[in-house]
Every structure is written in C-alpha cells, then in structure tokens.
C-alpha cells in the first residue's frame, strides 16, 4: 500500500494508492466529523457507489454535479453551496469528493469557501484526478477568459486513490490521464519514461501491475513537489509543463473540444518544439519525447481551426503570466525541465503553428 505524505506548512496528509481502499474509506474520516456531503456525478455514483464503504455512505448526503469542464464555473459552486444548506450543513460538516478532476476541483473549492472553509476528503475516480488534480490542494473554477482563474489552496484530509475504479473509465478519459503521467515522466522520472516507452500495450490494456506502478510514480512525484513548494513559488511550477499552451487551447475551444489531459498533450508537444527551436533541448531527446506522446495519442482530437496568433494572445490571461511576462516550463533532458522567461513571441507562435499545423 504505497502512501505518499504531502507536507505543507499548515498540514500533513497521505495520498494512499491502494486497490480496494474505497471499501474502508470511513477510516479516513476524523473523529467527531459532522454531516458528510458527497459531491459526485450521476455516472460515477451509478458505477462506483457499491464499492464505497457503507459506513461512509450511510451517513452521507449526496450532492450531484453535472460534470464537464464547461460546468466548472462559479454558478455551479453557488448551486452546490445552496444544496449543502438545504441538506443541513454547518461548520462541522465535511465534503467528500467522488469523481474526476472537475469534481475534485469544484468540490474542493466548495469546501474551501463554504462557511469560510470546511474539511474535504478527496476520492478521485479518473486517472487524471488520481495522478494530478486531487493531490496538492489546488481547487477552483474557470472563467470564460481562462482556466482555474478563481480558486484557492485547500489541502484535503487525505487522498484515497483506488486504481480498481479505472477499469470502467472510457478509453478517451484514460488516455487523457496518461498525458499527465507522461508529463511526470518528462519533468522528473526517466524510469517512468522507460516504462511508458517499453510497455504501451500493458499500459493501454490497463494491466494492474503497470497501472499501479505508474499511478504510484506520478503520485509520489506530485507529493514530493507539493511538499517542497505548496504555493507554486518555485519548484511546483514544473508541474505546469504543457499547461501554458494547453490552458489556452482549452479556453479557445470553450472547454468543449478537448479533455484537459488532451490539451496538455498538445501543450507538451508545443513546449518540446519550443525548447528545441530555442536551443534548450537537442533533437534526439526531443524526438524521443514526441515519440512517447505519439504512442498514446491515437485518439487525440485535432487542433484544426485554431489560430496560432489567437492562442498566443490567450497566453496573457494565464496565471503563469506574471507582470506581462510569459513563463514557459521547457524540457532540457528526459526527466528534467527548467523555467524560462522572456522567450520571443515569434518563436512561441512558430512552435504553436508548426506543432498544431496552424496558420
């Protein structure tokens, strides 16, 4: 049972990777917790309710969220908060998120701001949420102008990661999560890079040993990075590899064409090309990185119709743009990235248009 400690100035908690952990999730509830509110979606509830610990479900009030990136908005948060009030929530209540990254982000943010903050237990059910969204305390919602622009750091009581639930995940969602795992490999873990490169059949067939290994590797990396830099002053920025252009692609397509992980897949390809064009990365590792992404990208929606210049303009609205300067996380070797400021707009636009085949 690998458990990875996330240590922040305010709190320390475990991200536990264990098949079957859903069945004893109530062990992670604090003694004396008030009413429980499970925030979930219809489909997750239908598929996985049975696997959840009855000690937890019997005392819980279930609140449904429609799901989808387009619903990750402040208006949804207000509706959920009203439902908590209707269900009798007070300051001793606790939110349990049970779903993908949108549920863990919105449910986590709900907990962060409801009555100025109540605890949250994160139970992610998609690969993307298990390896990234639910770990590390980032919560929030989107604005039309950009991704996750309203939010808060709110660390959970624990993150319970059960790879068993991935069996029912649609293929497209599973592959979308794999892009975040590839991200971890490129930024910090050559051994994970090798596993993804050598065993694509096992990874794509969701072989339990391969899945448990890659989930644990990614969660370990996330826990280490967040423990070193919770508020993204420094090291945590490496987790944004692929996200600068990825977020712009999501916003430009109104959060409807790409799943988050898919946009990150494109964003990583742009960043690899930018690193290469800017002389930060030689072509041999750049080709290896592109080949790895391509191994898993057979279902990646095309970027047709997007404009390179419009995407470039979008970068100004990203949280990672500081005082007008666009910061890029670029790979410098397999397993190593660095942060670069002040890259010429022309080079960025060229990397976008070459990679996404845009004008």
Measured from the CB atom, the residue of 128 and 157 that comes closer to ligand GLY is 128
Cβ distance to ligand GLY smaller for residue 104 or 351: 104
Is-contact 184 174, C-beta < 8 A? no
Whether the Cβ atoms of residue 41 and residue 66 lie closer than 8 Å to each other:
yes
Q: Contact between 290 and ligand GLY (CB under 6 A)?
A: no
Q: Rule CB under 6 A: is residue 72 a binding residue for ligand GLY? A: no
Task: Return the number of the residue (136 or 146) whose C-beta is nearest ligand GLY.
Answer: 136
Among 6, 13, 25, 138, binds ligand GLY (CB under 6 A): 138
83 vs 132 by CB, closer to ligand GLY:
132
Min CB(121)–ligand GLY separation in Å = 18
The yes or no reply on residue 6 touching ligand GLY (CB under 6 A) is: no
Closest separation in Å from C-beta 274 to ligand GLY: 19
Q: How far is the CB of 138 from ligand GLY (least distance, A)?
A: 5
Interface of this chain with ligand GLY, residues 227 to 256, rule: CB under 6 A: 236, 239
Half-sphere exposure of 239 (CA within 13 A, CB side): 25
Q: What are the strands of the beta sheet with 36-40, ordered from one edge? A: 3-7, 12-17, 158-161, 120-124, 94-99, 36-40, 60-64
* Closest approach of ligand GLY to the CB of residue 31, in Å: 30
- Nearest-CB residue to ligand GLY? 239
Write out the two tokens for 324: 């007008």
Considering the complex, state which of residue 236 and residue 314 has its C-beta at the smaller distance from ligand GLY.
236
327 scored as a contact of ligand GLY (CB under 6 A)? no
Q: What DSSP string describes 92-125?
A: T-EEEEEESHHHHHHHHHHHHHGGG---EEEEE-
Taken as a whole, the chain contains a residue count of: 359
In eight-state DSSP terms, residue 322 is: B
294-323 binders of ligand GLY (CB under 6 A): none
C-alpha 76/C-alpha 173 separation (Å) is 22
Helices and strands of the chain, counted as H and E runs: 14, 11
When binding is defined by CB under 6 A, the residue of 99, 136, 140, 151 that contacts ligand GLY is 136
141 phi and psi angles, rounded to 5 deg: -135, 165
Q: How far is the CB of 125 from ligand GLY (least distance, A)?
A: 17
Backbone angles phi, psi at 301, to 5 degrees: -60, 145
The CA distances from residue 183 to 42, 144, 289, 293, 330, in Å, are 30, 26, 10, 9, 11
Contact segment (CB under 6 A) with ligand GLY among 71-79, 91-99, 131-139, 297-305 equals 131-139
Q: Residue 225 Cβ, how far from ligand GLY at the closest point, in Å? A: 8
Instruction: Out of 69, 83, 105, 132, point to the residue binding ligand GLY (CB under 6 A).
Output: 132
- Between 18 and 132, name the residue whose CB sits nearer to ligand GLY: 132
Which of 138, 327 has the CB closer to ligand GLY?
Answer: 138
Q: What is the DSSP string of 176-243?
A: HHHHHHHHHHHHH-HHHHHHHHH-HHHHHTT-HHHHHHHHHHHHHHHHHHHHH-TTSSSGGGGGGTTH
Are 154 and 146 in contact, with CB atoms under 8 Å apart? no
Q: Tell me which residues touch ligand GLY (CB under 6 A).
A: 132, 136, 138, 236, 239
């Amino acid at each position: 049972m690998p458990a990875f400690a996330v240590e922040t100035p305010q709190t320390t908690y475990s991200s536990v990777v264990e098949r079957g952990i859903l069945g004893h999730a109530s062990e992670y509830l604090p003694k004396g917790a008030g009413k429980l509110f499970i925030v979930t979606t219809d489909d997750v509830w239908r598929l996985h309710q049975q696997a959840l610990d009855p000690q937890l479900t019997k005392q819980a009030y279930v609140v449904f969220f429609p799901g989808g990136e387009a619903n990750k908005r402040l208006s949804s948060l207000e509706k959920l908060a009203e439902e908590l009030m209707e269900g009798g929530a007070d300051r001793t209540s606790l939110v349990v998120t049970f779903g993908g990254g949108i549920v863990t982000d919105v449910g986590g943010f709900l907990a962060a701001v409801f009555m100025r903050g109540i605890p949250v237990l994160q139970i992610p059910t998609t690969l993307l949420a298990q390896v990234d969204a639910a770990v590390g305390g980032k919560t929030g919602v989107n604005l039309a102008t950009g991704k996750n622009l309203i939010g808060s750091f709110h660390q959970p009581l624990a993150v319970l990661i059960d790879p068993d639930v991935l069996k029912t995940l649609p293929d497209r969602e599973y592959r979308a999560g794999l892009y975040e795992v590839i991200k971890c490999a490129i930024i910090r873990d050559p051994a994970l890079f090798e596993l993804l490169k050598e065993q694509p059949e096992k990874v794509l067939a969701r072989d339990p040993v391969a899945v448990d290994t890659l989930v644990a590797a990614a969660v370990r990396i996330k826990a280490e990075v967040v423990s070193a830099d919770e508020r993204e002053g420094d090291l945590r920025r490496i987790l944004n590899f692929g996200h600068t252009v990825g977020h712009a692609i999501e916003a430009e397509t109104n959060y409807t064409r790409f799943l988050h992980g898919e946009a990150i897949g494109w964003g990583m390809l742009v960043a690899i090309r930018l690193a290469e064009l800017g002389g930060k990365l030689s072509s041999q590792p750049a080709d290896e990185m592109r080949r790895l992404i391509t191994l898993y990208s057979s279902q990646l929606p095309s970027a047709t119709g997007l404009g390179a210049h419009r995407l470039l303009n979008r970068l100004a609205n990203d949280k990672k743009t500081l005082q007008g300067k666009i910061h890029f996380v670029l790979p410098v070797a397999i397993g190593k990235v660095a942060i670069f400021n002040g890259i010429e707009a022309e080079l960025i636009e060229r990397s976008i248009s070459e990679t996404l085949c845009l004008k």
